[in-house]
Amino acid sequence: MSKLNQLQGCAITGIGSYVPERVLSNSDLEKLVDTNDEWITTRTGIKERRMAAENEFTSTMAVKASLKALTQAELSPTDLDLIVVATITPDMPFPATACLVQQELGASKAAAFDLEAACSGFIYALEVGRAFISSGVYQNVLIIGAEKLSSIIDWEDRNTCVLFGDGAGAAVLQRRDGARGVLATRLGSDGNKAEILAMPGGGCRQPATVDSVNDRIHFLKMEGKEVYKNAVTAMTAAAKDVMEQSGLSIDDIKCIIPHQANQRIISAIGERLGAKEDQVFVNLQKYGNTSAASVAVALDEALESGKIERGDRILIIAFGAGLTWGATVLEW
Ligand code: UT7
């Protein structure tokens, strides 16, 4: 059996997303740190982002996105075999946020675990779910990318606080004989560059102490320029790889859904792939970088906007801390 055939039989039957109501605009940020709308817009393309309410958490946003995906799939939570939540902002270090989602949904027969691959999390979760389905282990899998990044942002650091937002996206994966679904996937990682994007505090290396809090190590830290360069190279290579694996050229792709971190990164990748501007879906002006939720929310919006029809090929590309990256080609 060819590699491509092995990947068949897993269809995405439902997609859903949720973003919190509260909008934080660039001009709101001007009141917090030494920044301005012109800098944020020209360097990133972001105009505003959503902020979760105090009583909204990664799990509650995940549940809202999941209910939409389950409704679209016409599937009851009790039919789910597995729930995977990709996140770097779990409700708590343990138990897994996926278990909180399982309880809230009433998914009584589902296994549940979290997956941590930062901004690449949704593509990693898609491949994990796909593998469980294609191998015949499970029939119905719910994958979620969800983040309350506002809880780990240093609101005194202008280098990072302007970039991120909160939200959630979910997809239902189901065994469908003959479905094309996921055509090819490439995942990658490089732990040599772990320190360029990290939250150093709160794990067993540097548990929370009065000093660690005073040293502000429980916030996200990023060397922006290094991350930028690695993101362009890795996402371009992964995208080329999955197109080659699936025997498709850029002209065969109806819609490219890149990780929504920076308009300049997205444009650079589009250029390197030879994509036309209208092939590339962008919504980062509204939400900023929502990490694991980013490509899931974008996929949901691209579908809602009518940009994607049955049979279209979609290329999803992501990159994040780890470093991690991934690309996947889907037939819708
Ligand atoms: O989701 C995971 C993947 N993450 C990413 O893909 C993010 C990748 N990185 C980036 O998107 C970009 O590197 C940034 C948007 C973070 C920064 O853009 P840049 O063009 O690389 O700018 P820079 O970091 O080199 O900073 C240029 C200048 C600096 O001033 P000096 O040192 O040149 O005087 C910064 O201090 O811009 C300054 N700066 C700001 N100025 C106004 C940094 N942040 C701000 C700000 N407002 N918010």
* Atom 29 in ligand 1: residue holding the nearest Cα: 159
What is the position in ligand 1's atom list of the atom closest to the CA of 264?
11
Six token digits for residue 21? 């109501």
CATH assignment, 183-331: 3.40.47.10
Q: Where are the domains of the chain?
A: 3-179, 183-331
Average the pLDDT over 300-305 and give the result: 96
Fold of 3-179: Peroxisomal Thiolase; Chain A, domain 1 (3.40.47)
Kindly list the distances between the CA atom of residue 94 and the CA atoms of 46, 106, 293, in Å, as whole numbers in the listed order. 33, 19, 20
> What's the CA gap between 289 and 44, in Å, rounded?
10
Q: Active site residue: 119, 140, 161, 262, which one?
A: 119
Kindly list the distances between the CA atom of residue 10 and the CA atoms of 36, 164, 314, in Å, as whole numbers in the listed order. 46, 32, 15
Six token digits for residue 3? 């590699």
Known catalytic residue at 119 = yes
pLDDT tens for each residue of 259-269: 999 999 999 99
> What's the CA gap between 101 and 111, in Å, rounded?
11
pLDDT tens for each residue of 61-72: 999 999 999 999
8 A C-beta contact, residue 264 and residue 272: no
> What's the CA gap between 254 and 293, in Å, rounded?
22
CA of 22 to the centre of ligand 1 (A): 25
CA of 135 to the centre of ligand 1 (A): 43
pLDDT tens for each residue of 147-201: 999 999 999 999 999 999 999 999 999 999 877 789 999 999 999 999 999 999 9
Known catalytic residue at 259 = yes
Domains 3-179 and 183-331 share a fold: yes
Tell which one of 37, 41, 225, 269 to mutate to probe ligand 1, the residue whose CB is within 8 A of the most ligand atoms.
Answer: 225
> What's the CA gap between 97 and 146, in Å, rounded?
10
The pLDDT value recorded for residue 180 is 77
Residue 289 CB partners (closer than 8 Å, separation 6+): 46, 119, 149, 163, 164, 165, 259, 260, 261, 262
CA of 36 to the centre of ligand 1 (A): 13
DSSP string of 156-168, one letter each residue:
T-HHHHTTB--EE
